[in-house]
C-alpha cells in the first residue's frame, strides 16, 4: 500500500509540473500536428523527388530567461537505429520569432544562427524521405527556448552532440509532429 501511495504521489507531482509548464507555442502555415506534410517538404535525392523546403515556423510566448532559440527536426522512425536528424539550427537570436518557408536552405537561416550538418550530410534542411513501404514516419519540428545566448559547438558537431547541448540548455520547448509516408 505504501508503494502505491508513493507512486500516486510521484504521478500527481508529474501532472502538477506539466500543468504549470510555460506557454511557449509553435505554429506553422505549412505543417500541422498529426497531419501529413506536403510533397514540398520531401527531400530531393535518394529516390525522393520533393521540393526539399523547410516549413514556415512561428513561435511565441518565450519563457523568462530565454536568451536564444534552436530548431530541430527529427524522425525517430528512420531505420538507422538512432533516428534521423533532418534539421538543427542553433544560436537563433532572441529577436527572431518566425522563419519563412524555405529558410532551411544553405545560407538562408536567420542571421547569427548556425545550421548543424544533418544526417544527409549538408548544413541545411533535409526533407522527409522515408523508405518506400516503410509506413508512416513521425517528424518532430521543435522550437527550443535556450538559457544561453550562444551554444559553443565545434564546426563539425554531430547531430547527437548538438542535440545534447540543445537539451542541456532548454528552458522550454514546443513541438509540432507531422507525418509523411511513401508507398
Contact 75, 128 (CB under 8 A): yes
Asked if residue 131 belongs to a domain, the reply is yes
pLDDT, one tens digit per residue, over 151-181 is: 999 989 999 999 999 999 999 999 999 999 9
Report residue 108's pLDDT band, with 50, 70 and 90 as the boundaries.
Answer: confident
- Structural domain total, the chain: 1
| Domain ranges, residue 41 | 22-180
Question: What's the CA gap between 130 and 180, in Å, rounded?
Answer: 8
Asked if residue 10 belongs to a domain, the reply is no
Asked if residue 4 belongs to a domain, the reply is no
Contact 87, 54 (CB under 8 A): yes
Asked if residue 15 belongs to a domain, the reply is no
Within 10 A of 25 (CB to CB), how many other CB atoms are there?
13
Q: Domain containing 29 — which CATH number?
A: 3.90.280.10
C-alpha cell at 162: 548538438
Asked if residue 59 belongs to a domain, the reply is yes
pLDDT of residue 25: 96
Asked if residue 123 belongs to a domain, the reply is yes
Going through the chain in order, the beta strands assigned E by DSSP cover 25-27, 44-45, 48-49, 57-60, 68-75, 84-93, 98-99, 114-115, 137-146, 170-180
* Residue that has been written with the C-alpha cell 554531430 in this structure: 158
Q: What is the mean pLDDT of residues 52-61?
A: 96
Question: What's the CA gap between 113 and 20, in Å, rounded?
Answer: 30
Report residue 52's pLDDT band, with 50, 70 and 90 as the boundaries.
Answer: very high
Asked if residue 9 belongs to a domain, the reply is no
Contact 164, 59 (CB under 8 A): no
Asked if residue 113 belongs to a domain, the reply is yes
Asked if the model's pLDDT at residue 56 lies above 80, the reply is: yes
Amino acid at each position: 500500500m505504501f508503494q502505491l501511495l508513493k507512486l500516486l504521489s510521484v504521478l500527481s507531482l508529474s501532472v502538477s509540473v506539466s500543468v504549470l509548464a510555460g506557454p511557449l507555442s509553435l505554429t506553422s502555415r505549412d505543417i500541422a500536428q498529426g497531419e501529413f506534410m506536403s510533397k514540398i517538404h520531401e527531400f530531393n535525392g535518394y529516390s525522393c523527388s520533393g521540393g526539399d523546403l523547410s516549413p514556415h515556423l512561428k513561435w511565441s510566448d518565450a519563457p523568462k530567461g530565454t536568451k536564444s532559440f534552436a530548431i530541430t527536426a527529427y524522425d525517430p522512425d528512420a531505420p538507422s537505429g538512432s533516428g534521423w536528424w533532418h534539421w538543427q539550427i542553433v544560436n537563433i537570436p532572441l529577436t527572431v520569432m518566425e522563419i519563412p518557408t524555405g529558410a532551411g536552405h544553405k545560407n538562408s537561416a536567420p542571421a547569427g544562427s548556425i545550421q548543424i550538418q544533418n544526417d544527409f550530410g549538408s548544413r541545411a534542411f533535409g526533407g522527409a524521405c522515408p523508405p518506400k513501404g516503410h509506413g508512416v514516419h513521425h517528424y518532430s519540428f521543435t522550437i527550443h527556448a535556450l538559457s544561453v545566448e550562444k551554444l559553443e559547438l565545434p564546426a563539425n558537431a554531430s547531430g547527437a552532440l548538438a542535440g545534447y547541448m540543445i537539451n542541456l540548455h532548454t528552458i522550454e520547448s514546443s513541438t509540432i509532429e507531422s507525418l509523411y509516408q511513401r508507398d
